[in-house]
Structures are given as structure tokens and as C-alpha cells.
Amino acid sequence: MLHLIRMKGIRLPTACVSLARAVRESVNVNVTASPTRLMSSKSYNVPPSSEFVARISGIATMAKLPYQDTPEGLDAAFIGVPIDTGTSNRPGTRFGPRQIRAESFMLRNYSGTGAAPWESMMVADIGDVNVNLYNLKDACKRIREFYRNVMAAGCIPLTMGGDHTIAYPILQAVAEKHGPVGLVHVDAHADTGDMSLGEKITHGTPFRRCVEEGLLDCKRVVQIGLRGTAYSPDAYAWSREQGFRVVQADQCWHKSLVPLMTEVRAQMGKGPVYLSFDIDALDPAYAPGTGTPEIAGLTPIQGLEIIRGCRGINLVGCDLVEVSPPYDTTGNTALTAANLLFEMLCVLPKTKHY
């Protein structure tokens, strides 16, 4: 764990502070002009600026935030769940959290929307769930227990997957605290299958399990971006029968999704909502590093419109899943994921906007 020190209300990793101080002193910069100094009068974690600290230096935490090993005292936390045991096709999502962290060092202080998360909330990277790579049921149990602690601390989890199986145990913990939640589910697939190869727990079944256990407020569920070939002529009938709103990818083509999100906000109302974003919702031209790609998907612009359109929704947890680094040597899938996760942080209820 990085050793933290406090300096006039700003918590930075020690190495970053000493480097920042050295840089300031060597160029005689007015201390009050440091962007980190201007962030807030409260004691929040603020990632070091590349004005003072080499962007590529340091241990790769999400957004260069401090690492701490508990959720205590945090308003929100980034958490990795490095698992691909549930995948049906290309593996590799166990490497997702690591590469998202590695690509996240380009993130700065403000979103283009004027959102200022580092001025609004105490956020840290609390590391990874120690998953069982050889037993998916035990992995789910470990994930559920980890997230129970996170929820008990009053901390909003922002999860880096990991295949989509993880949404099931996470939602078990979320619903234990909040009761049945609304769901904004962005994905190429409905992930509402019943069984695969005789197994109930896979990355194609999490939302069926969630419905069976009463974890979702089904009238407040929307699935956006669904597409691809199917095993039946009406592949999303089960979703609609539960009361979900289904927005297939072809209903999104060539359009801004801002009007859709106005409707989604009305559908979600004031109750608690979980946001689950499978990177395969995006077109594989933009996000090839994923386990089950489907052609003709959403653009990154539409992805941003969906997330930014969640501002005003009572988000109690978010995830970004299915990043499989071995299938994208450019790193751009993970870079996109890092940015989408930052934008999720930017629409949490406590985040202030300029």
C-alpha cells in the first residue's frame, strides 16, 4: 500500500508529493498556483497533475489515485475484478483491470462537461477482489462478500471487469443494501440466458439470475445496444416479458442518444439505479479488445451520451466489463474503458459541475 501523507488538505502518494515539491521548488512556482491546491478546501484525494509529476511514473492505480485497502471513508472506489472464467468465446478479461489502470493515467481533473469529481468526493482505488480463477461459483461468493463490505461502508463501487458474470454477485450485494434496483444495461447482448453447457453461472446469464432473485426493479430496467445473430426470431422476448425496455442497436444507428436518455431518466425515477456497461456495446472498430464482439455497434460518442445522460439518476454502483486486452494491441479499448469509468464517476449524485 502506498504511504499517504496529508499536505494542506490534499492527499497524494508520498513519492508524488516529494516530486511535486521538488519540481515546484526547482522552477519556483507559486504553491497556490498548483492545480491540486485549487481543487478543494476539503480533504479529498486528488490525482497528481502531469504539470508536476511525470504521467507515466508511479504504480498504476486507476486515474493515479491513491491506493487504500479498505472502502472506509470513501464516497466512491474503483475496484478490479480480474476474471474471465465465465466467458464463452475469447478469454482475456482477467487482464482488463490491469490494462484499464495502465491506460487511465491520461485522465485529468475535469470532464468536458465541467464535472469535478475530485472536488466532490473522496475516491480511491481499493485494488482487486481476490477471485478464484478455478471455480466460478466460489469467485462469485468472494465478489459478493467483497461488495457487501463496500456497500456497508456507504461507498459507491466503480468496477473494472472482468467478464460480465461479475454483475450478478455485485448486484446481490447492491440489492441487499438498496432493495431491488433499476438497471441501465449497455451491451451487445441481453445476458439473460438461462443455461450454457448445463451451467447457470456464465457471462451470458447474470441478469436472468438477478431477476430470479428479485434484485432488479424490472420496470426500471433498460437494455441498450443489443444486436447480433440469435437462436430465436425474437431474441429479446424474455427481457420484454420481465418489463425491461429493450433498445436494440439498430434503433440507435445514425442517431444522438440524448433524447433516449431523457426517457431513460424518466423511467428510472428517483430510486436507486445500477449502471452496467459492457464494452462490447461499442462497435468492434472502436473496442476490439473484448470477448464476444458483434458488428455494427454503438460509437464512443453514443457511449458518452448514455453515461452523461445518467446525470440526475440515483446511481448506487457502476461497472465497465469485458475488456480483453490481448485482442487489442493498441490499448485503445482499455483507454476507452478508463474514460467511460471516469465519466461514470462524473455523473454520480455527489459530483459537482461547473
User: Residues in the site for Mn ion, rule: CB under 5 A?
Assistant: 164, 187, 191, 278
347, 307 in Cβ contact below 8 A? Answer: yes
Amino acid at 156: I
Q: Could you tell me the smallest distance in angstroms from the CB atom of residue 115 to Mn ion?
A: 26
Please say which residue, 61 or 93, places its beta carbon nearer to Mn ion. Answer: 93
Question: In angstroms, rounded to a whole number, what is the distance separating the alpha carbons of residues 258 and 323?
Answer: 25
Q: Could you tell me the smallest distance in angstroms from the CB atom of residue 348 to Mn ion?
A: 22
Please say which residue, 123 or 210, places its beta carbon nearer to Mn ion. Answer: 210
Please say which residue, 95 or 207, places its beta carbon nearer to Mn ion. Answer: 207
Scan for cell 444522438, then name that residue.
256
328, 288 in Cβ contact below 8 A? Answer: yes
Check whether 187 is labelled as a binding-site residue. Answer: yes
Check whether 234 is labelled as a binding-site residue. Answer: no
Please say which residue, 80 or 204, places its beta carbon nearer to Mn ion. Answer: 204
Please say which residue, 278 or 319, places its beta carbon nearer to Mn ion. Answer: 278
Instruction: For residue 315, give the 3-state DSSP assignment.
Output: strand
Please say which residue, 119 or 191, places its beta carbon nearer to Mn ion. Answer: 191
Check whether 189 is labelled as a binding-site residue. Answer: yes
Q: What is the CA radius of gyration of the chain?
A: 20
1, 68 in Cβ contact below 8 A? Answer: yes
Using DSSP bridges, classify how beta strands 4-7 and 10-13 pair: parallel, antiparallel or unpaired: antiparallel
Q: What are phi and psi of 52, to 5 degrees?
A: -120, -30
Closest to 222 measured CA to CA, from 175, 262, 178: 262
Q: Could you tell me the smallest distance in angstroms from the CB atom of residue 280 to Mn ion?
A: 6
Please say which residue, 125 or 294, places its beta carbon nearer to Mn ion. Answer: 294
Q: What share of the chain is helix, strand, coil (3-state, %, to 5)?
A: 35, 20, 45
> Grid coordinates in use for 354?
461547473
Using a 10 angstrom Cβ sphere, with 0-12 exposed, 13-18 middle and 19 or more buried, the burial of residue 216 is: buried
> Grid coordinates in use for 240?
420484454
Query: 194-204 burial by CB neighbour count: b if 16+ within 10 A, else e?
Result: eeeeeeebbbb
> Grid coordinates in use for 147?
461488495
Q: Could you tell me the smallest distance in angstroms from the CB atom of residue 256 to Mn ion?
A: 24
Q: Could you tell me the smallest distance in angstroms from the CB atom of residue 43 to Mn ion?
A: 38
Q: What angle do CA 323, 327, 329 make, to 5 degrees?
A: 105
Check whether 191 is labelled as a binding-site residue. Answer: yes
Q: Could you tell me the smallest distance in angstroms from the CB atom of residue 279 to Mn ion?
A: 9
Check whether 203 is labelled as a binding-site residue. Answer: no
Question: In angstroms, rounded to a whole number, what is the distance separating the alpha carbons of residues 34 and 288?
Answer: 38
Q: Could you tell me the smallest distance in angstroms from the CB atom of residue 19 to Mn ion?
A: 40
Q: Could you tell me the smallest distance in angstroms from the CB atom of residue 235 to Mn ion?
A: 14
Please say which residue, 16 or 279, places its beta carbon nearer to Mn ion. Answer: 279
Q: Which residues are annotated as a binding site for Mn(2+)?
A: 164, 187, 189, 191, 278, 280
Which residue numbers belong to the known binding site?
164, 187, 189, 191, 278, 280
